[in-house]
Amino acid sequence: MTATVERGAAPVVGIRGLSLTYERGGSRTEVLRNLDLAVHPGEFVAIVGESGVGKSTLLRVIMNLASPSAGTVTIHAPPDDGRAGGGRPESALVFQDARLLPWRSVLDNVTFGLEWRGVSRAERRRRGEAMLALVGLSELAARWPHQLSGGQRQRVSLARALAVEPAVLLMDEPFSALDSFTREGLQDELLRIRAATGRTVLFVTHDIDEAVYLADRVVVLAGQPAGIAAEIRVDTAQPRRRADPVLSAFAHQLRLELSRRSSDL
């Protein structure tokens, strides 16, 4: 099943003229310059680019963990639907490493983000158990993080992010530290979960094949300072086949674009 992308609706994420400059020790480093990006409801957008180009920095700005030097970032979060704890949060971030709290059980890790939002204990448990079921880990709710495999820890991290029901799910190379078998399995799980929830996803990766397999649209971040160098819409329906020649053609197009941009630096 393919998630529905609402292209006529207001963007969930709207970025206009975004620039970011770091100042350290009297020197200035411009990381991002005049970046524009819109991510629509239900859309899965992947961001690719060379290591160090600013992909993760962009997610930090969207999460309000870093302040832009110029431009704006707006997130259109759906209104409060009457749940305890107020309206839906704008975003949630899944990191490359799971960052689970070792002194909390799997279920308590999943519900961690709900506690400071004033969600009742009963509702936290209900939503935590529902998210563990969604990622296929219901039977591990009472375990501790050190008892999990790497893939299981990332599933718990994903469940924790989904539990707060964010307007947009941000993912920063979440599968890059895993072996290829586990990584491919989690890619398929993510597509299943995205289809089931209709969640809007902004996914950073250095893996071009991963990007074209997962995303509706792939954005190329390139340059020093970085901006959006190209966008490719992956117009093939889900579910996809990894060996599909159409996906291979999209991946080849992206590699050519990245190679050309690198040679221009």
Task: List beta partners, residue 227.
Answer: 222
Dig out the tokens for 114 from the structure.
């709900």
pLDDT, tens only, 122-138: 999 999 999 999 999 99
| Helix (H/G/I), strand (E/B), else coil: 199 | coil
How far apart, in whole angstroms, are the C-alpha atoms of residue 13 and residue 89? 13
Q: Which residues contact 117 (CB under 8 A, 6 or more apart)?
A: 85, 86, 89, 164
Q: What is the pLDDT of residue 4?
A: 66
Task: Give the count of beta carbons closer than 10 Å to the beta carbon of residue 59.
Answer: 23
**Mean pLDDT calculated for residue range 195-199:** 94
Q: Is residue 70 over pLDDT 70?
A: yes
Per the prediction, the chain carries an average pLDDT of: 90
Match 């290591």 to its residue by tokens.
51
| Helix (H/G/I), strand (E/B), else coil: 209 | helix
| Strand ordering across the sheet containing 200-204 | 91-94, 168-172, 200-204, 44-48, 217-222, 227-233
pLDDT grade, residue 258 (50/70/90)?
confident
Q: What is the pLDDT of residue 116?
A: 80
Second CATH level (architecture) for the domain 1-76+167-265: 3-Layer(aba) Sandwich (3.40)
Q: Which residue has the higher pLDDT, 83 or 51?
A: 51
How far apart, in whole angstroms, are the C-alpha atoms of residue 216 and residue 44? 5
Q: How far is CA 190 from CA 13, 92, 157, 195, 198, in A?
A: 20, 15, 12, 8, 11
| Orientation of helix 121-134 relative to helix 150-163, angle to 10° | 130
How far apart, in whole angstroms, are the C-alpha atoms of residue 55 and residue 202? 11
Q: Is residue 83 over pLDDT 50?
A: no
* Domain chopping of the chain, boundaries: 1-76+167-265, 97-165
Q: Which residue type occupies 143? A: R
Q: What is the pLDDT of residue 10?
A: 85
Q: What is the pLDDT of residue 23?
A: 84
Q: Which of 73, 78, 72 is nearest to 63 (CA)?
A: 73
N-term to C-term CA, the chain: 41
pLDDT, tens only, 92-110: 999 999 999 999 999 999 9
pLDDT, tens only, 10-61: 899 999 999 999 888 778 889 999 999 999 999 999 999 998 999 999 999 9
| Helix (H/G/I), strand (E/B), else coil: 37 | strand
Q: Is residue 82 over pLDDT 50?
A: no
With 0-12 CB in 10 A as exposed, 13-18 as middle and 19+ as buried, what is 123? middle
How far apart, in whole angstroms, are the C-alpha atoms of residue 15 and residue 72? 6
